[in-house]
C-alpha cells in the first residue's frame, strides 16, 4: 500500500519563527489533506490540496503531485500552533473512504 512519511518528526520553535513541514508519499494520489491535531486531540482540517498552492492566513500549503510531496508552511508561529501536523492521502480503492495518515510532525511553539 501507499506509504506516507513526514519530516521532521519533531520541531521546537520560538514564537514568531517560520517553519516548513514536509510530506512524501510513495504513489500517485488524487487528493491530499493537511490536519492539525491540537493538544486536546481534535483533528482540524487545514487544507485540501491535491495540487498547487493554497493559503489561509499564516498557513500555506503546496503539493507537487508529479514529484509526490507536499509542504506546509507556518509563518510567524504562535503557541496555539502547537500540536501534531498530519498529512493524509486516500487509501486503495475510492470506495473505502480510507485516508492513509502520515507519521506526523510534533510541533512545540515556545513563548
Partner 1 sequence: EAQVTQNPRYLITVTGKKLTVTCSQNMNHEYMSWYRQDPGLGLRQIYYSMNVEVTDKGDVPEGYKVSRKEKRNFPLILESPSPNQTSLYFCASRGTGAGTQYFGPGTRLLVL
Give residues in contact with partner 1 (CB under 8 A).
30-31, 33, 35, 41-43, 45, 48, 50, 88, 90-91, 94-99, 101, 103-104
Q: For residues 30 and 110, which CB has a smaller minimum distance to partner 1 in the complex?
A: 30
Q: In 3D, which of 33, 39, 58 has the Cα closest to residue 108?
A: 39
Smallest gap, in angstroms, from Cβ of residue 103 to partner 1? 7
CA dihedral 75, 77, 81, 83 (to 10 degrees): 100
State how far the Cα of 60 lies from the Cα of 73, in Å rounded to an integer.
Answer: 5
State in angstroms the smallest separation of the CB of 76 from partner 1: 26
Whichever of 5 and 17 has its CB closer to partner 1, that residue is: 5
- When the beta carbons of 7 and 91 are compared against partner 1, the nearer one is 91
Q: How far is the CB of 71 from partner 1 (least distance, A)?
A: 19
State the nearest-atom distance from the C-beta of 25 to partner 1, in Å: 15
Measure the CA angle with vertex 49, ends 83 and 100; round to 5°. 65
Amino acid at each position: 500500500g501507499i506509504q506516507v512519511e513526514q519530516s521532521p518528526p519533531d520541531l521546537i520553535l520560538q514564537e514568531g519563527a517560520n517553519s516548513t513541514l514536509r510530506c512524501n508519499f510513495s504513489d500517485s494520489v488524487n487528493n491530499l489533506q493537511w490536519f492539525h491535531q491540537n493538544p486536546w486531540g481534535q483533528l482540524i482540517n487545514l487544507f485540501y490540496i491535491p495540487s498547487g498552492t493554497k493559503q489561509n492566513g499564516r498557513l500555506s500549503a503546496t503539493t507537487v503531485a508529479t514529484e509526490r510531496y507536499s509542504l506546509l508552511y507556518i509563518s510567524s508561529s504562535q503557541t496555539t500552533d502547537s500540536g501534531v501536523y498530519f498529512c493524509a492521502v486516500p487509501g486503495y480503492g475510492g470506495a473505502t473512504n480510507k485516508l492513509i495518515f502520515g507519521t506526523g510532525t510534533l510541533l512545540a511553539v515556545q513563548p
